Structure 1
Amino acid sequence: MPILTVLLGVAADDALATAVADELLDITVDTLHKRRDLTAVALQFVPPGQWFIGGQAGAPTAFVEIRISAGSNRPEEIAAFVAAGHRALDARLGLHAVSYVQVQEVPAAHWGWGGRTQAARAAAAC
């Protein structure tokens, strides 16, 4: 039940939002082996004139953060997600080098969905 938070430093575009969300969902399924039907994407556009790198605004940039349960993926899977996410966005947007893909591993007892923690779900499955 991962959630991706995506900020894109480009002009708002609904078609682009859909394409990016779909591509990041595919990458999440392919590299982290998460269920697509339980993965959410929250995407926002930041006007290019409001995203600054080194005091300069205007370059296409991105920040992608995914939250997953701690220990649910191996380091090489996480590295593959970071690389594939950056590669996909760079191919689509021509990103500034200072763009980010980040994986947050959250303890299973600290989050969940549908009112149940991931730890409770795991305990019930045993």
Structure 2
Amino acid sequence: MPFVHVTLAGPPPGAAALAALQAGVTTLMAEVLGKRADLTAVLVEGTAPGAWSIGAAPTRIAAHLDATVTAGSNSPAQKAAFVAAAHRLMAETLGEGLPLATYVVVDEVPAESWGYGGLTQARRAEGRP
């Protein structure tokens, strides 16, 4: 049940690019990190013009992807593959000019500290409400 938050700076993506980004991230979560696509939530948000800087200089276009997963549910190799593939997806979808400082974060949260449908991931793993 991962949650993925993509923050963008620059011109907002068109409907097709937005759908490609959401579908692409969902696919990567399922195929690379082994998460259930039907429970993967993706939020794409933009920032105000001029709100993003890199090295203290305003940037025309930027992106940041933060994927929240249960701690210990993925190997270092899976996370590295996800970071590489997610960066590629953003570069392909958002176009040229994406800065080197485009970060992808796999944020691991303890199973007892988050969940969905009113149950923590720890409770789900135990098979009880």
TM-score after normalising by structure 1: 0.92
The corresponding residue for 1:61 is: 62
List alignment gaps of at least 5 residues for structure 1: none
The corresponding residue for 1:45 is: 46
The corresponding residue for 1:12 is: 12
Query: Structure 1 residues 88, 48: CA separation in 2 closer, same or farther (over 3 Å shift)?
Result: farther
The number of equivalent residue pairs is 125
CA contact (8 A) 1:48 1:58 kept: no
CA distance in structure 2 between the aligned counterparts of 1:20 and 1:53, rounded to whole angstroms: 23
Match of 1:123 among 95, 108, 126: 126
CA distance in structure 1 between the aligned counterparts of 2:43 and 2:115, rounded to whole angstroms: 17
**Identical positions, percent:** 41
CA contact (8 A) 1:11 1:47 kept: no
Calculate the aligned-residue CA RMSD, in Å: 1.4
Higher percent of residues as helix = 1
TM-score after normalising by structure 2: 0.90
List alignment gaps of at least 5 residues for structure 2: none
**Counterpart amino acid of residue 5 in structure 1:** H
Q: Secondary structure at the match of 2:66?
A: strand
